[in-house]
Amino acid sequence: MKQLVFCLLLLCSSFFCFSQGATKTEIDWIPLQKAKEYAKKYNKEILIFFYKKDCEYCDKMKKEALSDMQVINLINNNFLPVKIDSRTKDTIIYNGVVYGNQQPESSGRHDWRHDFYAEVASFTRNNTAQSTTPSIVLFNNKFEKLKNLPGLQSKQLLLRNLKPYVLK
């Protein structure tokens, strides 16, 4: 009888420990298409994190800012977060225009930037259009670009830049 009670207590405690109300320890990245659907449905803004493989600053931002609990909570609670490789071969539709990566698969190379990334993550410095990774781009619920946050963002800078876009 004691073993049965012990097993029931163990089972119940594990259920409560892993309930839905548990604090998230990482950002809940979702696909872009889902984010676009949910943005309209729930009136939420979309946050896209552009990165590239073997990018030192992308890895640093992931480790230092995007893994911080305060940043995780702010993003998960207020945005629909999407993570996109700036070199992806996926087709993306933005404002009725189809964007892709123009580098042929047959080239064997994977270093050509995606046209969507070049379009929305570009910024002007010294009268020259540029883009960099990492970059965060914010969109409203109609998938209209609100803000581009290019380059490595520290935890403090990222929080300061995101807070004005938190819907009340």
Q: Which residue has the higher pLDDT, 92 or 102?
A: 92
How many structural domains does the chain have?
1
> Rounded mean pLDDT of 53-81?
97
* Residues 40, 162: Cα–Cα separation, whole Å: 20
Assess if residue 83 is contained within a domain.
yes
Q: Which residue has the higher pLDDT, 61 or 9?
A: 61
> What would the pLDDT profile of 65-78 be if each residue is shown by its tens digit?
999 999 999 999 99
Assess if residue 37 is contained within a domain.
yes
Q: Is the pLDDT of residue 111 over 90?
A: no
Domain span including residue 49: 25-101+113-165
* Residues 110, 130: Cα–Cα separation, whole Å: 20
* Residues 58, 132: Cα–Cα separation, whole Å: 10
Q: Is the pLDDT of residue 121 over 70?
A: yes
Q: What is the DSSP string of 13-40?
A: HHHHHTSTTSPPSS-----HHHHHHHHH
- CA distances 160 to 37, 53, 71, Å, are 27, 27, 10
> Rounded mean pLDDT of 127-136?
91
> What would the pLDDT profile of 33-50 be if each residue is shown by its tens digit?
999 999 999 999 999 999
